[in-house]
Amino acid sequence: MKFDKNIKNYIYGELENPLSASFIDNYNPALGQVYSQIPDSDERDVHRAVKAAQRAFPTWSTIGVEKRFRILMRVADIIEQNLETFALAESMDTGKPLSLARKVDIPRAHANLRFFATSIMHFSAESHNMEKEAINFTLRSPLGVVGCISPWNLPLYLFTWKIAPALAAGNTVVAKPSEMTPMTAYLLAQACIEAGLPPGVLNIVNGFGHKAGQAIVEHDDVKAISFTGGTKTGRTIASIAAPKFKKLSLELGGKNPNIIYADCDFEKMMKTTLRSSFANQGQICLCGSRIFVERHLYPIFKEEFVKRVQKLKIGDPNSPKTDQGAVVSKAHMEKVLGYIELAKKEGGRILCGGEQKKVKGKFENGYFIKPTVIEGLAHDCRTNQEEIFGPVVTIMPFSTDKEVIKYANSTEFGLSATVWTQDITKAHSIAEQLEAGIVWVNTWMTRDLRTPFGGTKNSGVGREGGLEALRFFTEAKNVCIQF
């Protein structure tokens, strides 16, 4: 397992350069410097990968669940044994603190593989008995070659979240990581080779989304697309895949509300809200970016929250003391700073942060942003409606349940929401009224991999996780036998 400055595609079990022989610069965002090259693949590489996956499909789909289980468990073990290498790669590619990659990203990646390797051993289909007349049973077969496309914010974590159920269910895969964060997918390819994954079962093609990614979506022999990324890209993908009647799973953007009632456990809420606002520099689709606080708690909340946000340590991702690393790219930093300017124009007051953080020394060219808290904005202004996806939150007071539900549900998104209250009846009622695929009460990001994961409205179509993912990656066929 090695870091390589020249990342390669993984096709039919081999690590290879793209046919175009051209490469894209890969940046370390904390240093603001190029540190490796990745293949600028095009539709020819994708076509080779699809052909490789087609060749592998007949054997992989019939090899039996136990053999698939064993190989996927071996891949998981190799990732776990190389935790430090994977975590360092993730931190260098994304700018996130090494401690976060070590504690969250990489452990979750091997957990995904183990979860679906074992799930497939217990996966069964329904049967429906029509008394004295007939019996129906449902066969679930793998789809064939499927495409998995993932974003840069949680690179290996989300890549394996798609690949693991697809492979466990007997499909073969052509996958593309984000061109901004390809290193851990490259290490995964090496882990697959070491684990003895048969050639062609998993193929990883690197490159730009509009080129390599789109070629996967367009390819007629790719039967399903599992995509996580922005809502705009999701719309493009849907417009290409829908006329071809491909199965589609879309996990898209969010603008998640965090609703705080005065009767909450204040200390627990405060600690968790710091995380739900700024973990991974606010670049998690589940981060609560709009914080609504019951009016009589609002002044106390504001004072304490801002005090704690100002104490967050920003800088060297390798330091165990660092809370906030760099955001993923210069372009993304500029986009986030642009939203802060917009918030000011819309009448927002910056309570803390609000600008780039210049870190001295080695990291002086890195893309760091001070965690930012803004108040005084209306719920329907652009800052409160559009996904910023950075270390920026807005805080707003509310007086009644009706009012806060209106605010919370006012965006085009519906991914997740958090509610803080000790009143279980209220929690239940608010959870029911929220337009979101996931509601957390008195917690955030507590994940049981068996639960359905995904959003409503423009946050996506379909659900991942547990049986939902295994159902997505299989085709159901009902067989009816008359008695």
End-to-end Cα spacing for the chain: 57
Question: Which of 191, 252, 374, 417 lies at the binding interface for ligand NDP (CB under 6 A)?
Answer: 252
**Residue 230 interacting with ligand NDP (CB under 6 A):** yes
Catalytic positions, please?
251, 285
Instruction: Give the residue with the Cβ less far from ligand NDP, 158 or 333.
Output: 158
List all residues 6 or more positions away from 7 whose beta carbon is below 8 Å from its beta carbon. 26, 36, 37, 38, 39, 182, 183, 186, 206
Label residues 342-360 b or e (16+ Cβ within 10 Å = b).
ebeeeebebbbbbebbebe
**Residue 217 interacting with ligand NDP (CB under 6 A):** yes
Question: Residue with the closest Cβ to ligand NDP?
Answer: 209
Q: Which stretch binds ligand NDP (CB under 6 A): 47-55, 94-102, 122-130, 207-215?
A: 207-215
Contact 117, 72 (CB under 8 A): yes
**Residue 210 interacting with ligand NDP (CB under 6 A):** yes
Q: How far is the CB of 212 from ligand NDP (least distance, A)?
A: 7
Instruction: Give the residue with the Cβ less far from ligand NDP, 13 or 253.
Output: 253
**Residue 285 interacting with ligand NDP (CB under 6 A):** yes
Instruction: Give the residue with the Cβ less far from ligand NDP, 287 or 404.
Output: 287
| Contacts (CB under 6 A) with ligand NDP, residues 374-393 | 387, 389
Q: Which stretch binds ligand NDP (CB under 6 A): 48-56, 72-80, 194-202, 208-216?
A: 208-216
The encoded tokens of residue 255 equal 């603008």
Write each residue from 62 to 91 as x if it is in contact with ligand NDP (CB under 6 A), else as -, in one continuous string.
------------------------------
Instruction: Give the residue with the Cβ less far from ligand NDP, 43 or 80.
Output: 43
Instruction: Give the residue with the Cβ less far from ligand NDP, 233 or 322.
Output: 233
**Residue 209 interacting with ligand NDP (CB under 6 A):** yes
Size of interface with ligand NDP, in residues (CB under 6 A): 33
Q: How far is the CB of 57 from ligand NDP (least distance, A)?
A: 22
**Residue 226 interacting with ligand NDP (CB under 6 A):** no
Write each residue from 120 to 159 as x if it is in contact with ligand NDP (CB under 6 A), else as -, in one continuous string.
-----------------------------xxxxx----x-
Q: How far is the CB of 24 from ligand NDP (least distance, A)?
A: 9
**Residue 42 interacting with ligand NDP (CB under 6 A):** no
- Summarize as ranges the residues that interact with ligand NDP (CB under 6 A): 149-153, 158, 176, 178-180, 208-210, 213-214, 217, 228-230, 233, 236-237, 251-254, 285, 387, 389, 415, 455, 459-460
